[in-house]
Amino acid sequence: MITLDITISLDGYVAGPHPTLEAPLGEGAMGLHEWLFAAASWRSRHGHEGGEATADSDVYEEMVSATGAQIMGRRMFSGGAGPWESDPNAGGWWGDDPPFGIPVFVLTHHEREPLVLGTTTFTFVTGGIEQALTLAREAAGGRNVAIAGGASAAQQFLGAGLVDELQLHIAPVLLGAGLPLFGGVGPLELEPLRVLDSPRASHLRYRVSR
Amino acid sequence: MITLDITISLDGYVAGPHPTLEAPLGEGAMGLHEWLFAAASWRSRHGHEGGEATADSDVYEEMVSATGAQIMGRRMFSGGAGPWESDPNAGGWWGDDPPFGIPVFVLTHHEREPLVLGTTTFTFVTGGIEQALTLAREAAGGRNVAIAGGASAAQQFLGAGLVDELQLHIAPVLLGAGLPLFGGVGPLELEPLRVLDSPRASHLRYRVSR
């Protein structure tokens, strides 16, 4: 199954206006992911203690456990707008030990050898989303393939009708402007499957078909 | 307490593009309110039998029971874009026995005597949202004042920081374009209070402050 988990503001944006190197998600968008950074499961998997054992934590743990491979866009790999983007051989902004631990396929226009960092192997795919999906499915060992983001990759997979389940993590913030998740995606059939919530976010899961 | 209950598409629109007399909520927007029309409580209060005893039904009944007066915009009273709008004395599109049964205050620029239809009295307010609120509070007998819509009235009250609780009914449809609920509203503090869901909609309640 192909899954897409993505956090949006209550007014539907995955990122705010004016992204910069310091604020790659744009103005005001730091609040989007507070639910994640506060979750006990996220903190544990990223080497931190503490955190909250809320529905947010359950949702993150469930997602990670079910996922066998990830696909991400070039900008999510390299850290948004910045000097990395102009250097096709630069590393990602995920550091020496990225928190994935499963195969990650990066959509890019630049051919490049796979990059092994800690327990994560990044494979660079120049053949588009269909090729990335084929490779990720093989690597996932029967578990889900997750579209990790960013917005452009999410929109490409949604628009192509390739996402089976969409889980929106709706943060209680308004950005007022920015990059709307569903911009240009076109019509989709959405069947509500489940809702979970915490004081930090509401998690809405849908079966998706075109 | 001032409440706003409003249905939006998953991409954040209260109405689709190109509203007409036949489709006052715009193209594709009929699906927005299916959760309501299928709810047993809505059907019962509108004189129909049957319906579904889902969370949708509970949410609607709870909202109606807690509300002592409503405020609506002129277009919601008169039926969206259409010949009614050019005639300030025309009746609403709610028929001879509107389903409110509580005092309704209509925001308008045209002075007009109150209109009694069945168990509902429409009072026309030319002094803006603050005056409407004062009158509605007096009439509500200690129960909530609900902002009934449409989008313009909802945005005015949200933008003025006058809404205490916002409940979004998120329908699993994408409209792709139309009137975004939060357009021009500006920043708000939102505290998630509760989530309920059914196969037809997700109901997210927030405490709102400016």
pTM: 0.87
Interface touch B199/A181, C-beta < 8 Å:
no
Which DSSP category does B16 fall into?
Answer: -
H or E element, residue A13: strand A13-15
Pairing of strands B144-149, B2-9: parallel
Residues in B touching A170 (Cβ below 8 Å): 204
Residue carrying structure tokens 């999510």: A76
Looking at the partner chain, which of A173, A181, A195 has a beta carbon nearest the beta carbon of B197?
A: A195
Tell me the residue type at A48: H
Q: With 90 as the cut, is the pLDDT of residue B136 above it? A: yes
Interface touch B192/A172, C-beta < 8 Å:
yes
Q: What is the DSSP string of A34-70?
A: HHHHTBHHHHHHTT----B-SHHHHHHHHHHHHEEEE
* B90 pLDDT tier (thresholds 50, 70, 90): low
Q: What is the DSSP string of A100-143?
A: --S-EEEE-SS----EEETTEEEEEE-SHHHHHHHHHHHHTTTS
Higher pLDDT, B167 or B96: B167
Interface touch B195/A188, C-beta < 8 Å:
no
Pairing of strands B115-117, B120-125: antiparallel
* B3 pLDDT tier (thresholds 50, 70, 90): very high
Interface touch A195/B199, C-beta < 8 Å:
no
Predicted local distance difference test score (pLDDT) of residue B19: 73
pLDDT digits (tens, 9 = 90+) for A28-42: 788 899 999 999 999
Predicted local distance difference test score (pLDDT) of residue B171: 96
CB pairs under 8 A between A and B: 78
* A21 pLDDT tier (thresholds 50, 70, 90): low
Residues in A touching B174 (Cβ below 8 Å): 182, 185-188, 190
The mean pLDDT of B142-158, rounded to a whole number, is: 94
Handedness of CA B3, B9, B13, B16 (dihedral sign): negative
Q: At what angle do helices B128-139 and B151-159 cross, to 10 degrees?
A: 90
% pLDDT > 70, chain A: 91
Residues in A touching B177 (Cβ below 8 Å): none
Q: What is the mean pLDDT of chain A?
A: 90
Predicted local distance difference test score (pLDDT) of residue A99: 84
Residue carrying structure tokens 């050019």: B86
* B22 pLDDT tier (thresholds 50, 70, 90): low
Tell me the shortest Cα–Cα distance from B183 to chain A, in angstroms: 7
Which DSSP category does B141 fall into?
Answer: T
Q: With 70 as the cut, is the pLDDT of residue A210 above it? A: yes
Tell me the shortest Cα–Cα distance from A8 to chain B, in angstroms: 10
3-state secondary structure of B33: helix
Q: Are B22 and B158 in contact (CB under 8 A)?
A: no
Q: With 60 as the cut, is the pLDDT of residue A81 above it? A: no
Rounded to whole angstroms, the Cα distance separating B191 from A39 reads 18
Q: Which two tokens stand for residue B23?
A: 């489709």
Going by C-alpha positions, the residue among A132, A137, A179, A167 that lies closest to residue A35 is A167
Q: What is the mean pLDDT of chain B?
A: 90
Q: With 80 as the cut, is the pLDDT of residue A167 above it? A: yes
